[in-house]
Amino acid sequence: MKLEELRDLYIEELRDLYSAENQLVKALPKMAKAATNEELAEGFEEHLEQTKGHVNRLKQIFDRLGKKPTGKVCKAMEGLVAEAKEALEEDMTPEVLDAALIASAQRVEHYEMAGYGTVRSFAKLLKEREAMALLQQTLDEEAATDKKLTKLAVSTINIDAAHEDDEEMDDE
């Protein structure tokens, strides 16, 4: 692949991420509001602030490239957000709802991690050092968020969700 073609792909992938991050800026407050576990709600609020930073980093990269960040819709993120919404419409206990929120959020983080890993590698090949550093910072924040969600799920939320199930079974 010629370097210019790779640069075009790089820009398209960055636009995809820009769309994805902006969709998340809208979705995360709703997820925070839906969460019953306080730590989870706070985690979503915190990641909302980080996500706004991700948007800004992408804007910075586009400024340097002299291109506009808009023009693409990330359909995958639309799908992930739609699935999260669907999950929240199911009838479930607050504990299971929190577990469902984590399931949705981790899918989102992994999607973002895949995207940022790719553009960071492209930036390296294209010798865009500054962009590479910015993309790495975001990638690290997405990975840290994913780890936190795992910890919260495994240490508390999944256990609470399962416990709820036990109680129901005891009642029967």
**Site residues (vs Fe ion, CB under 5 A):** 51, 54, 112, 142
The residue number with the shortest CB distance to Fe ion is 54
Return the number of the residue (10 or 18) whose C-beta is nearest Fe ion.
18
Return the number of the residue (25 or 92) whose C-beta is nearest Fe ion.
25
* Cα 81 to chain centroid, rounded: 10
Return the number of the residue (122 or 160) whose C-beta is nearest Fe ion.
122
Distance from C-alpha of 65 to C-alpha of 121, rounded to nearest angstrom:
17
Q: In the complex, what is the shortest distance from the CB of residue 1 to Fe ion, in angstroms, rounded to a whole number?
A: 27
Chain length of the chain: 172
Identify how many contiguous H helices and E strands the chain contains and give both numbers: 6, 0
Q: In the complex, what is the shortest distance from the CB of residue 13 to Fe ion, in angstroms, rounded to a whole number?
A: 14
- HSE toward the beta carbon, residue 6, CA cutoff 13 A: 14
Q: In the complex, what is the shortest distance from the CB of residue 7 to Fe ion, in angstroms, rounded to a whole number?
A: 23
Return the number of the residue (10 or 111) whose C-beta is nearest Fe ion.
111
Q: In the complex, what is the shortest distance from the CB of residue 34 to Fe ion, in angstroms, rounded to a whole number?
A: 17
Distance from C-alpha of 140 to C-alpha of 163, rounded to nearest angstrom:
33
